[in-house]
Amino acid sequence: MLKAQHSDDTDTRRQLNAWQDSLKSISYQIYNNNSEPERYNASYTFIKTLVSALKTPHSFNFNFDSLKAVSIQTPPDRKFRIFSWHVMNNDGSYRYYGTIQMNNPEGKLEMFPLIDFTSAIKNPGDTVTNNEKWYGAQYYRIIPVTTNVRTPYYILLGWKGNNIKSNKKLIEVLHFKNDKPVFGMPVFDGDKNNPYKKRIIFEYTRQASMVLNYDPKTAMIVFDHLAPPDPKLEGKYDMYGPDFSYDGYKIQNGRLQLISDLKLENPPSEKDELYNDPRKMKGTAGNQ
């Protein structure tokens, strides 16, 4: 019986490794093909191939470690994981794709496709959405908030390329209601101008990079303070950039409290630099 089980596990891993190789090859085309229609065709093929791979029993336990071109984020409790990626348009704008795979104890595939609804969301900072009306992004960090809260939730840090002039990053909030994902929650305190924000969105010039990281030692999300190069450009966010000061959101009592002008002994490093410029994705999906 043990030998049979070991054989099954070996076969499953062999199958998933084969799927992973296929996904690497396809993802290379998503980021490197010079034709926009071909980039989208590659993304659609990637979706079909990923679904087939995840249908493999107990696929949640396979990490897809060598699939570098797609972000795969799993919280410490391993209740789910999020796959996310983007397709760049010729005009410098982006469309986002992703899925949430739940950790089904029976090993069956349980997933929620993420449908980018960005263009139809008029007030994204104040809007609660779901997986079918997703404010698309490519996530690079998950932070669980489970203490002092009635509804446990997860903070997602994400990169969201915007257009030829600017990029965005965001602090997203995810929780599950009736076993379905919900994005956006009014847990942000300290901004008198926006007391009911459901998510935080930063926009800055494409010529700059922005730090947005989590420091577990202080339970704080630390980020560059963004400002225009000239006061006359106030409100022109595609001109904004870091001004060498830092702000943060402190996680306390189940909420996120804004703290301005942080005094940091060691300024944060841009560990998520991969998501500052999608051109850095080129070549990460394998050699063709």
Q: Enumerate residues 6+ apart whose C-beta is below 8 A from 240.
A: 203, 204, 205, 226, 227, 228
Instruction: Kindly tell me if the per-residue pLDDT of 1 is higher than 60.
Output: no
CA dihedral 213, 26, 28, 60 (to 10 degrees): 30
Return d(Cα 43, Cα 70) in angstroms, integer. Answer: 11
pLDDT of residue 270: 55
Return d(Cα 256, Cα 223) in angstroms, integer. Answer: 14
Return d(Cα 29, Cα 143) in angstroms, integer. Answer: 31
Where is 280: in which H helix or E strand? Answer: none
Instruction: Kindly tell me if the per-residue pLDDT of 272 is higher than 70.
Output: no
pLDDT tens for each residue of 150-207: 999 999 999 999 999 999 999 999 999 999 999 999 999 988 777 789 999 999 999 9
Within 10 A of 106 (CB to CB), how many other CB atoms are there?
Answer: 7
99 φ, ψ to 5°?
A: -155, 150
Instruction: Kindly tell me if the per-residue pLDDT of 3 is higher than 60.
Output: no
Decide: helix, strand or coil at residue 132.
coil
Q: Between β-strands 166-177 and 200-205, what pairing exists: parallel, antiparallel or unpaired?
A: antiparallel
Cβ atoms of residues 133 and 185 within 8 Å:
no
Cβ atoms of residues 33 and 39 within 8 Å:
yes
- DSSP for 48-65, please give it: HHHHHHHTSTTGGG---T
Domain chopping of the chain, boundaries: 117-274
SS3 sequence of 119-155: HHCCCHHHCCEECCCECCCEEEEEEEECCCCCCCEEE
State pTM to two decimals. Answer: 0.90
Sequence length of the chain is 288
Amino acid making up residue 229: P
pLDDT tens for each residue of 46-69: 999 999 999 999 999 999 999 999
- Average pLDDT of the chain to the nearest whole number: 90
